[in-house]
Amino acid sequence: MIGLMSSEMDITGASLETLFRLNVGGSLIGPKNDTAGMGRTWYNDMPYIYSGSVGVVTSIKKGQHVKYDRIPHYIAPIQVYESARAMGPDGLEVNSKYNLTWKFSVDPNFTYVIRMHFCDFLMTRPNQRIFDIYINNQTAQGDDNALDPVGTAGAGVPFYKDYGIFVRGKADILIELHPSMFSQPEFLDAILNGLEIFKMAASRSLAGRNPELSSMLAADIDKIEKKKQKEFQSHNMIVIAGAAVAAILIVLVNRQNRRRNQRPPCPHGSSWLPLRGSSMSSNSDSNHLSSLAQGLCRHFTLSEMKRATQSFHESNVIGIGGFGKVYKGAIDEGLTKVAIKRSNPQSEQGVNEFKTEIEMLSKLRHKHLVSLIGFCEEEGEMCLVYDYMALGTLREHLYDSRKGPMGMLSWKQRLEICIGAARGLHYLHTGAQYTIIHRDVKTTNILLDDKWSAKVSDFGLSKTGANMENGAVSTVVKGSFGYLDPEYFRRQQLTEKSDVYSFGVVLFEVLCAKPALDPSLPKEQVSLADWALQCKREGRLVELVDPHIKEDIKEECLNKFADTAEKCLNDSGLERPGMGDVLWNLEFALQLQQEEDQEGGRICERDDSK
């Protein structure tokens, strides 16, 4: 990748195609809310985060105002400049050791224009926050040219900078922000409000390979189209706009039909799956799915499912859940390992859960959510096909005796797994257009791939917050005993804080290596959540810590971890932290654990005689 161009580049008269338009740190902005009638859509940036840390989201405070002193209003809507993603308050200890990074897949052998939007509404004077910008490992702003947003434009004043780069070879664009050590600012931090990437061709030819649209993008296009169709029925003024969107969708469908005919193997382990159009088999018993969901994941025949699992042979069973048995299998001529969940006709979970799982997961892609590859609905059978998680469930590695000593997780591994799961849940709560509540967070629904990376799974009970009133949705209580939010149980009002409660139980389960419910114990110890809270309040929590890790945990880390779990289990949902705060506290706990152990660091010695 070569040829990083000046931020003063002239793009007048060039052919441009918009590839990405992101409201960094903010929620989706639809065409109706775009500024000056521009009709653009600005997406959330979470699916493109490539950092070890996602940083923190900040928003403009009450009484503050964005001042369009340097650019016209139409450049970007005010909502883009009223929120941002920054590195956070950790300063030298953390921020100097990582880059805030986004990664984008693009076509090779083209020039790309990268427009970055800035508005620093937190700092008040120059030299407080200065940072370097790298594009594909080349310095766009750095050293004596590092970017100082307030010094460049003033506090609360939006501006943008354009950069150009020619991409050759591996077709990715990597954008990284890092605090400027050269400039020695008051705070080691970086900030970004918005990001646009345009494909440019001086010859006016933008021909390239068919785009592999993310399912999240396709879902939002579908929602926007449906909304415009409704408006069309009552407002004739949008006829032209509706026709334009329809034309775009026809082009996309035609492209997908061409790709479907080629039928390439599905890439195993990819964090983004290609958009595949597929019709239901002619001998399907029923069609429970929307055409959108069918188009976003792959449709398998029953014969393909039998071939992948040796006719659902019992030797391939790797798990049993509420929906049915889970089989290990291989598709695409044995090249891709998968996990196939087959419905059990006697199960309480049936068509609704099958539909929910597909409708939900087909629209979501995140490195810490299990990837749905496709489905089968034929001859009364319902199957779901996922990426294969080689290391199984988190629960297996906490206290499943079949795993033996080699299956035990170190304390650092447990922390990293909790952080990964928290990132996946945080994305569900904030990264999509509507809040998505998992509703069944537990250690058996946190899976581990071959690199010990955690992925949240099983969305059969999930609810979307599209129809939330006052931040809650009324629903029949569902979930798993031991993890169930007591406030949700009492009021039948589901919020994202119900997931937070369940995750608090998971945290104590990880710390203590004890099941959420154990009827064999004395009455006061049956519920792990209740027992752990009581022991913590009495200063006896260390007695519950898993002996396999007890001598390895630093006291400061234990306290931060336990405090976080305790806050998650607050009886009042309003008093519980959001998943973003939970994530930040777990990352801080990991930082405390990793600090040099100069003072011993153990909370107690292991007593092997017990």
Closest residue by Cα to residue 508 from 516, 498, 496: 516
In one-letter notation, the amino acid at residue 302 is L
DSSP secondary structure of 558-607: HHHHHHHHHHHT-SSGGGSPPHHHHHHHHHHHHHHHHS--TT---SS---
Is residue 607 among the annotated active site residues? no
DSSP classification of residue 235? -
Sequence-separated (6 or more) residues with CB below 8 Å from residue 604: 542, 550, 551
Please check whether residue 176 is in contact with residue 141, taking contact to mean a CB–CB distance below 8 angstroms. no
Distances in whole angstroms, Cα of residue 200 to Cα of each of 412, 432, 570: 45, 29, 53
Rg (CA), the chain: 25
Please check whether residue 543 is in contact with residue 535, taking contact to mean a CB–CB distance below 8 angstroms. yes
Token output for 358: 């597909």
SS3 376: strand
**What residues form the annotated binding site for ATP?**
341
Strand partners, 486: none
Which residue bears the tokens 């006291």?
555
In one-letter notation, the amino acid at residue 29 is I
- CA dist 524 and 57 (Å) reads 40
Please check whether residue 505 is in contact with residue 445, taking contact to mean a CB–CB distance below 8 angstroms. no
Which residue bears the tokens 């033996």?
404
SS (H, E, C) 114-174: EEEEECCCCCCCCCCECEEEEECCEEEECHHHCECHHHHHCCCCCEEEEEEEEECCCCEEE
Token output for 461: 């009970």
- CA dist 468 and 385 (Å) reads 30
Measured in degrees and rounded to the nearest 5, phi and psi for residue 414 equal -65, -40
Residue 271 burial (CB count, 10 A): 16
The secondary element (H helix, E strand) that includes residue 436 is strand 436-437
In one-letter notation, the amino acid at residue 527 is S
Catalytic pick among 90, 440, 485, 499: 440
Sequence-separated (6 or more) residues with CB below 8 Å from residue 254: none
Active site residues: 440
